[in-house]
Structure 1
Amino acid sequence: MDKPRWLPATGTPEDFPPASEALHEPNGLLAVGGRLDPEWLLAAYVRGLFPWYEAGQPILWWSPDPRAVLIPEELHVSRRLQRTMRTSSTRMSADTDFVAVIEACAARRHYTDDTWITPQMRDAYITMHGLGWAHSFEAWGDDELIGGLYGLAIGNVFFGESMFSRRTDASKIAFVNSVAFLRDRGFELIDCQVWSHHLKTLGARTIPRENFLELLDTLCSADRAPGPWSADYERFAQSTL
């Protein structure tokens, strides 16, 4: 394919082309258009796709090759971060303030005026959270939200979307604790989408898209009902004290 496939908003998720047809440049761009309702989002993720675009652009669907992933057992916590976590008073929770987390992730950073979490994206993932598919992990300091992340859970795969930090290492602390929780619940793969040095320091690696899609075929079919994680995380946190 020499250009991305156009998806009419009147169509269905079955209109998604195979991820293998994604462009090489820009890496992973597969389709344009469609919708961000739950049916489309769930169909996209199990196909190895995710939406990523800026304000003023149509919905863009991506499936980069290679794909950045983290196997929960391969999580790497540096000695410095271990020391920070031992002395930190940071309190963790899950699904207690999804809206605040996604709004913090959407906030413009000091190094750019751009944000890919448009109001349309924000509303779509808040809807997914209400349905029990999207989840947030929150890091608290003195009852203030200082870091966190959110993503989607389908079967035994957690699809990470974005994270933020308002204090040094707050997002890393949130990430490490979220991985521990996911591993405890039987998740076998965390999708990190695009490789970065930051993710590498935490143990992420890249795998060919073909291998990633094979993993999704197996792991996304695991029997796991959607629903809130707040009580489950509280029990998990108590058990690890």
Structure 2
Amino acid sequence: MNRLTADDLIYGYINGIFPMADADGTLYWYAPDPRAIIPIHTYKPAKSLRPILNRNQFEIRIDTAFTDVMRACSVPRSEEDSVWISDEIIDAYTELHEMGLAHSVETYIDNRLVGGLYGVAMGSVFFGESMFSQVSNASKVAFHHLILILRQQQYTLLDTQFINDNVRRYGAIEIPKADYLRQLKKGLRQKAHFTADVSERV
């Protein structure tokens, strides 16, 4: 079977499907029903996060260590945690990143990468993939900055695929697959620009 490519990913995302790898590296495509999304304009940072944001504890960078973020996200968080980001997936998303369609939001302390997230941006839709944190609140700050970008650049849909406790803390909800596909189609027709230049507005 041919290896996963950036073109495969583009085709998948515009049709509402995405790949995940099994433990043996076998790729499967998913289209959850219901689908989890995070409403961009109802997100509010936790009160406990405000002091951290005000102290500028973390340095934020965009797209400076995309593959490093993916590799950090691929590390199991516990013995029970399954690994779904294979080397094949990392290679394909890195190719997509080089095309300007996949992005990372990174958090640093003393020039050391300590947290971040990555995803795919097409039209006015951002498909969130995964995040990691090696220091308390590092991924939360990265997500907060992602929301700043999406709001300022008028993104219309933030896809988070499956519902779980991690995305619930950011306000994730589930919607029917048919509703998601309607929002996806509309969002892909609208243009938005993923940029590092944002101002604090949340």
TM-score normalised to structure 2 length: 0.92
Summarize the Cα distance change of 1:114–1:202 in structure 2 as closer, same or farther, 3 Å threshold.
Answer: closer
Distance 1:74 1:35 in 2: 39
1:139 corresponds in structure 2 to 107
Q: Which consecutive aligned stretches of 4+ in structure 1 deviate over 3 angstroms post-superposition? A: 110-114
2:38 to 50, 57, 70: 70
Letter in 2 for 1:36: L
User: Given that residues 90 and 141 in structure 1 are in contact (C-alpha distance below 8 angstroms), is that contact kept between their aligned partners in structure 2?
Assistant: yes
Q: Is the 8 A contact 2:148 2:200 kept in 1?
A: no
Q: CA deviation at 1:38?
A: 1.9
> Which of 66, 70, 76 in structure 2 is aligned with 1:108?
76
Aligned to 2:95: 127
1:59 Cα offset (Å):
1.6
- Between the aligned partners of 2:81 and 2:167, the Cα distance in structure 1 is 23
**Equivalent-residue separation in structure 2 for 1:216 and 1:93 (angstroms):** 28
Question: Partner of 1:6 in structure 2?
Answer: none
Kept in 1, the 8 Å contact 2:122–2:188? The answer is yes
- Find the structure with the greater CA-based Rg: 1
- The equivalent of 1:13 in structure 2 is none
User: Is structure 2 residue 199 aligned with structure 1 residue 199?
Assistant: no
Specify the alignment match of 1:61 in structure 2. Answer: 29
Q: Which runs of 5+ in 2 are unaligned?
A: none
Higher relative contact order (CA 8 A, sep 6+): 2
- The reply on whether 1:180 has 2:138 as its aligned counterpart is no
Change in Cα spacing, 1:57 to 1:100, as seen in structure 2 (3 Å) is closer
Q: Which whole-Å CA distance do the structure 1 matches of 2:146 and 2:192 have between them?
A: 17
Q: Deviations over 1:32-90 (max 9, x none)?
A: xx752122211111111010122425320101111110121011211112223223421
Letter matched to residue 146 of structure 1: V
Q: Say if 2:24 is the partner of 1:43.
A: no
Which residue is 1:31 aligned to?
none
TM-score by length of 1: 0.78
Counting aligned pairs with the same residue, the percent is: 34
